[in-house]
Chain A
C-alpha cells in the first residue's frame, strides 16, 4: 500500500448528544481510489465533511497530507481546499452560471491566468467528461447525469491532489451511472489524485475502486479490496454486498413489542 495521504485515528464525532462516528481508524493511500460504503445514515457523509474540514472531530486525529485538519486556521483550511476537489451529491452547480462559467469558476477565483488560458483549460476539462459541446448550456438545461459530469469537471479544474465524491451515483440511470464511475476512475488515474468516494452503490463501486471501508452505526465494520469483499463471510459485509434485507443491519427500526403497542392503543 502507498503512503497514506489521509490518516484518521480514533475519531469520534457527535451532533449534540447524538453520536455519529465512534473510533474511526482509516488510512487512504496516495493516488488510490477508496470507497466508504454503508447504509443510509451510517455517518459516511459526515466523515467526508470531516475530511474536508467543514466540521471538526470531537476526539481523535484526522490528517490530510500529514497535517492535522482540526488545527487549521481559516486561511490554512482554504489553502488545503485549493488542493482539493469535491463532487456533491446533486452536483451543486451554480444555477446562474453557464456550464462553461461553472468550470471556469475555480480557475478565475484562484489563478491569475489570462482568459484565453482559462478557456483552453475549461474546454479540456469539459472534453474529458464529454460535454465540450454543452459549454454554453445553463444548468437547468442539463439532465441529472450531465449535471454530475459538469460538476466532476469543475471539481478537477485545479488538478487537485485529493478528490472527495459524495454519493456520486445517486439518482442516475444505468448509463449515466456507468459513465460517472468510469470517469471517476479515469480522472483519478490521470491526475494521480487520492480519491475518496462515499457511496452505497455496491456493484458500480466495486468495479472501479482500489479499496473499500464498510461502515455501520457510525463504526468501521470491515475493509478490504473489492476481491476480498466479494468473498467475505463477515455478516455486515455479506449483508451489504449481497443486498440482504435483514442481518446485522436490522430491517426494523428499534421499537417496543408490537402486541403491547396494539393493546395499548385499544385500551
Chain B
C-alpha cells in the first residue's frame, strides 16, 4: 500500500514541478518579449549576439551541411539509378535539404553549439552573481542579457539553415555531377523546375525560424533557471541540448503535418 502511495506521490510531485516550470518559462518568455525593445534600440548588443551564436557556428554548419549533401548524393544516386532516374538527383538532394534536413539538422547543431554556450554563459553569470550585480545597478538582466541572446539566436537560425542547405546542395552536386557523372544541366534544371519557393523554400524558412525561437528560448531560460553551482550549470546545459533536440523533432512533425499534408 505504501509503495502505491509513494508511486502516486512521486508522479504527482513531478507533474506539479513540470507544470510549474512550464508556467515559469511562459512568464519568463513574456517578460523577455516585453523587454525586447531595448535590444532593437541598441543594435550593437544584438550584433554581438548574432556574431556569438551565428557567425561562430558557421564552421560546424557548413562542414556538416557539406557532408550531409555528399551522403545524400551517394545514397540518392544509388536508389535513383535503379529506376533509371539518376538525373532527378538534383531534386532529391534539394527537396530533402530545403524541406527537412536543412532546418532540422542545422537546428540540432545550433542547439549543441550555440544553445549550450548560451546556457553556460547565462548560468555562470548567475552563479557568479553577475546577474544580481546588474540588477542591483538598475540594469534589467532580461533586457540587457537575455533578450539580445534570444533575438540573436532567432535571427541567426534561418540564416544558418539556409547556409547548411546551400552547403548540402553543393555536396550533392560534387558527388553527383563531378564524381559520378550525372548530367549537370539535368541536375540544375530539374531542381529549378521542381523546387517551389512557397511550398518548399518558404516553409523551410518558417520551420527554421520556429526552431530558432524554441532553441533560443530553452537555452536562455535554462541558463536563467540554473541552480547557481558548477553541477547546476552542467545539468542546465544538458537539459538545453536534450530538451531542444526533442522540441525540434516534435515541432518538425507538427509543422510538417500542417505544411505538406494539408491538415
Contacts and interface: CB of A to CB of B under 8 A. Distances in A.
Interface of A: 52, 54, 78-79, 81-82, 84, 86, 88-90, 92-95, 105-106, 109-110, 164
B138 A92 contact: no
Given A92-B130, A95-B130, A106 B137 contact: yes
A84 B136 CA distance: 8
A26 B139 CA distance: 28
B78 interface: no
Interface residues of B, number: 14
B128 A110 contact: no
B138 A82 contact: yes
A89 B127 CA distance: 12
B129 A88 contact: yes
Interface in B119-144: 124, 128-130, 132-140, 144
B133 A86 contact: yes
A54 B136 contact: yes
B175 to A, nearest CB: 42
B135 A92 contact: no
- Chain A's interface: helix, strand, loop or mixed, by majority? mixed
B136 A81 contact: yes
A92 B137 contact: no
Contact of A92 (B132, B140, B144): B132
Nearest to A86: B136
Contacts of A79: 138
Given A90-B128, A95-B128, A52 B136 contact: yes
Interface string B8-51: 00000000000000000000000000000000000000000000
B142 to A, nearest CB: 11
Q: Which 10 A-B pairs have the closest CB atoms?
A: A92-B133, A81-B138, A92-B129, A78-B138, A86-B136, A82-B138, A88-B129, A106-B137, A109-B139, A92-B130
A238 B215 CA distance: 57
A54 B135 contact: yes
A106 B133 CA distance: 11
A158 B133 CA distance: 14
A185 to B, nearest CB: 22
Nearest to B124: A95
Given A90-B128, A92-B128, A95-B128, A109 B133 contact: no
For A88, A92, A93, the residue with the greatest tally of chain B CB atoms inside 10 Å of its CB is A92
